[in-house]
Amino acid sequence: MKKTVLVLLIVVMCLSVVSIASATTLKPWSAAYTYDFPAGSFSAPDFIPYNLHFQWSYPTAGEHNGGNGVLNVSEEAPLYPGYVVVRGTFGTFAKDGDACGWQCLQLDEPITIHPDQAVRFHIAWRTDEGMSRQDAVKHFDSMEVTVDLGDGPLEMSQHRLIRQTEPDFWEKYICKFTME
């Protein structure tokens, strides 16, 4: 009986050490940022340049150009359900089909949208190094992420922090942002 209790106690202690080590492993973190323009925000015909920009102050100050491009607004463009998601240099995505049978499409360049299309600018940031959750919260809280369409920067909204575990995470996750 004493041996069984001792072995069980040692196993529980070892599992606790493994759990603590796993919980404290530093991993990269990500957050998505969006800015929405409702349907009818753009007039046709038009060409609208845009720029996505990051700036942060923790743990050290820095900034990064998140990509730029041009939206072509045309009555000839198809109208997609939900949002067309513009991700700068990472592509533009739209939902095609109804709620039960939709698929995610990556749209060809140049980006052409219908004036009645809702548009969501989206950019994500992934830390280069692993961080604790506490440091990740401080880092992402210090970020100012903007989209500028020529009339001055517009602050994008941060979505939840995600502990990055898969290298192709955003490719699997991006299409959720096409939904209203």
| pLDDT digit string, tens, across residues 50-85 | 999 999 999 999 999 988 899 999 999 999 998 999
The model's pTM is: 0.79
Measured CA distances, 145 to 16, 54, 66, 100, 127 (Å) = 40, 5, 9, 34, 15
pLDDT surpasses 70 at 24: no
The two tokens of residue 105 are 């499409």
CB-CB contact of 84 with 117 (8 Å): yes
- The answer for residues whose C-beta is within 8 angstroms of residue 62's C-beta and 6 or more apart is 55, 56
Look at residues 171, 88, 160, 74 and name the one whose alpha carbon lies nearest to residue 117: 74
- Residues 66, 154: Cα–Cα separation, whole Å: 14
Domain boundaries, the chain: 27-178
| pLDDT digit string, tens, across residues 135-155 | 999 999 999 999 999 999 999
| pLDDT digit string, tens, across residues 79-107 | 999 899 998 777 888 888 665 556 788 88
